[in-house]
Amino acid sequence: MPSPPRRRRPALVWAVFFWYVFSAGYTVLSFALIFTGRVELSAEASRYLSSLSPLDYTVTILALLLNVSGAVALLLLGKTAPYLFSAALLLNIASVALHALTKGLVAALGAGGPIGLILGSGISLLVCFYAWRLYARGTLT
């Protein structure tokens, strides 16, 4: 009996995978540089980071893990990918909104920070739409 044909991953699946792996690595490296004192922070950024609780860091790590898990699931063409990406997006939106309202996140970001935040959220939203589209088409199994 012949083996089933191999499914090809769309090129965008690879792009999403590499984007999230790179982003996770960049995030971890950024925190490492900040916590080792190799990056000088503005007064607002320093105040913001000192206001974060262990729960805040746990939520950040959880969102990072959800995104990386979503990227791996998408690479494997797994049905869990859109759920993982959607959960990460919702967690990030809730966290950013809470921090903007209560912890001074907007001031800590500086002049260009909100643009990066909006772009990142936009990319996450587009990835969610893409993953759900692949799910609806039956590409994810």
- Report pLDDT digits (tens) over 75-126: 999 999 999 999 999 999 999 999 989 988 888 888 778 898 899 999 999 9
CA dist 110 and 56 (Å) reads 20
pLDDT at residue 105, rounded to an integer: 87
Give dist(CA 73, CA 42) in Å, integer: 38
Instruction: Dump pLDDT digits (tens) for 7-60.
Output: 688 999 999 999 999 999 999 999 999 999 899 888 888 999 999 999 999 999
Check: pTM over 0.75? Answer yes or no.
yes
